[in-house]
Structure 1
Amino acid sequence: MIKYILLALLLININLNASDIRLERYANTKTWLQDADSNADSAYNLGYTYDVKIKDKKQAIYWYKKAYSIDKKVEALNNLGAVYNDLKNYKEAIKWYKLGINVEDGYSAMGLALLYEENLKDYPTAIKYYKKAYSLGHIGAAYNLAMLYHTTLKEYPNAIIWYKKAHSLGHKSSAYNLAILYKKKLKDIPNAVKWYKKAIDLGDSKALDGLSLLLKDNNLTLATAYVIAGIGNGFTKKETLKYLRNDWKVDEETIKKAYKLQLKLDIPKHYKGGI
């Protein structure tokens, strides 16, 4: 008798999802529904559709759990943690994130670190899981940990260590943030210049502005060269020259010298449109 009741409940659930007209707006959902009770990918895709597109967290949870029950689909663990986190059910979120960590999922470790930092304000535990995410290959974990040390905990030596780790993995914003730390917090101008240049090498246009402002008082021509090199990265030639002439009070001769100088700078991109 119990078997028949369970079967009836399962059929009711399938029929409810099959008749969910919200799914009709999205490609492939009809195909996924046909085998979602035995195919983990189909179940996961339905969960993702409900989660991200339809915003029905209850149905998202059902299908993510279904995907995990079929073949222990790892992606479902992180997503379940994220859904419960969105619902502010932190106990369940922690449970599913930890299941993901147990199978070496870096995204789950990252999600759990963010939960402890942003929602629970438990910074020691956040640090623990950022480090775990980093050990599992999540690039963003090193950067987030550096930011936590930098902006929240004011532990600058640790921030430097983790910004450098993030930079070594190619995280674009790490070099720029490290330059800011050296400039504003530690008043270490040589290292600020060094890291602005590294940020420029990664194509960070903000670093051109930061470096130019840092150099302005001691070497106006070089500072102006960096400003000119940034033409096209948010500001036109006309806007840039107006800024240099009106705000910085740079004379025409210095602007011409700076234009030629920036063509020789060891940077990824130069402005070649003339002055």
Structure 2
Amino acid sequence: MKIKTIIKLLIIAIISLNLTACEDNKSSNNKKEEKEVKITSSLPMPNVKDEYINKYIKLSQLYDAKTDPSAATKIGYAYSEELKDYDKAIKWYKYSNSMKPTGINSNYMCYAYQMKKDYDEAIKWCKKAIDLGNKEALFQLAYTYREKKDYKKAEEWFIKSFKSKDKDAAMALGYLYTNYLHEYKKAEKYYKESVKIKDLEANHNLSRLYHHHLKDDVKASAYAIALIENKYSKNSVLNILKDKWKIPNNIIQKGYELQLNSDDFPIKYKGKLDLDEN
């Protein structure tokens, strides 16, 4: 190969490398410029009392909240949960929302309005949270409807929450059917769903449901006895069954055997019952 040809090839290679480097630098500069784009709010940033800084609200959060909606949401959450100042929490949530609406922020806003008993506003923000993909807001919306005494709407949204795998929804449905809609077989169904995940309160509620509404004292006894040494003492459970509810010993014994031998009871009391001693 001639020397001139070799030199030409080297020049072409060097030019190509320089062009590639320029493109890389350009790409790097573009990314840097993208990172430097700041999110701004159409609302003024709410003020924070000096005595709250680094006690309830980190100074770094306050600085970041100028351009970071998640930092603003965290400040709102501190006002809500630490200071119980829901008006100020809402101001911070709205400030965050004006930078970038998020499902988490809207769900927190729903809760803050719930606490203020402004249910129409709570419903509006819960629905925004759901539209933004926040599944927790399904439960919050159902709860808001329940507090507003719109029990059929509450039922509709608790069921959606249950289908979304919210672990608290089954208990809420059981409570709704027992105390508001008075559909006791449906209450039984959903309390049993809570029992499956070892919700001890579901056992307690089922026991009351069977005694007061479904009139099945064997099952009432069984669900109560399963709580012995898991939630309550043996004496306290037997005092309710025998003295308060007046359930005979032979029925209580059947309940003891039911919870001991049935797969419907993920928690059990396996100790001695000693009914004659109580």
- The TM-score, its normalising length taken from structure 2, stands at 0.67
Residue 268 of structure 1 aligns with an amino acid whose one-letter code is P
Residue 94 of structure 2 aligns with an amino acid whose one-letter code is K
Residue 253 in structure 1 maps to residue 237 in structure 2 = no
How is 1:1-275 mapped onto 2 (pairs within 5 angstroms)? 54-55=55-56, 60=58, 63-69=60-66, 72-82=67-77, 86=85, 88-89=87-88, 92-99=91-98, 101-102=100-101, 105-119=102-116, 121-151=117-147, 153-216=148-211, 218-263=215-260, 264-275=262-273
The runs of 4+ residues in structure 1 deviating greater than 4 Å are 50-53
Consecutive unaligned residues of structure 1, counting only runs of 5 or more, are 1-46
Alignment length, in residue pairs?
A: 218
CA-to-aligned-CA distance 1:197-256 (integer Å, 9 cap, x gap): 112122221221221222226221121111111212321123212322222222222222
Identity of paired residues, percent? 30
Relative to structure 1, the CA distance from residue 88 to residue 225 in structure 2 (aligned partners, 3 Å threshold; closer, same or farther) is closer
Relative to structure 1, the CA distance from residue 173 to residue 68 in structure 2 (aligned partners, 3 Å threshold; closer, same or farther) is same
CA-to-aligned-CA distance 1:113-160 (integer Å, 9 cap, x gap): 2333333x5433321211222344444322221111012x21112101
8 A Cα contact 1:229 1:269, kept in partner: yes
Relative to structure 1, the CA distance from residue 222 to residue 118 in structure 2 (aligned partners, 3 Å threshold; closer, same or farther) is closer
Consecutive unaligned residues of structure 2, counting only runs of 5 or more, are 1-47, 274-278
Task: Using CA pairs under 8 Å that are at least 6 residues apart, name the structure with larger relative contact order, 1 or 2.
Answer: 2
Relative to structure 1, the CA distance from residue 266 to residue 63 in structure 2 (aligned partners, 3 Å threshold; closer, same or farther) is same
**Secondary structure of 2:269's aligned partner:** coil
CA-to-aligned-CA distance 1:170-213 (integer Å, 9 cap, x gap): 43332222112112222211111111111212222122122122
For 1:202 and 1:230, the matched residues in 2 are separated by 14
Residue 93 of structure 1 aligns with an amino acid whose one-letter code is W
Residue 163 of structure 2 aligns with an amino acid whose one-letter code is S
Relative to structure 1, the CA distance from residue 210 to residue 162 in structure 2 (aligned partners, 3 Å threshold; closer, same or farther) is same
Residue 132 of structure 1 aligns with an amino acid whose one-letter code is K
Residue 191 of structure 1 aligns with an amino acid whose one-letter code is K
For 2:163 and 2:53, the matched residues in 1 are separated by 32
Pick the structure with greater CA Rg: 2
RMSD between superposed Cα atoms in Å:
3.0
8 A Cα contact 1:77 1:99, kept in partner: no
For 2:267 and 2:79, the matched residues in 1 are separated by 45
Cα deviation, residue 266, structure 1:
1.1
Relative to structure 1, the CA distance from residue 107 to residue 254 in structure 2 (aligned partners, 3 Å threshold; closer, same or farther) is same
Q: Which has the higher helix share?
A: 1
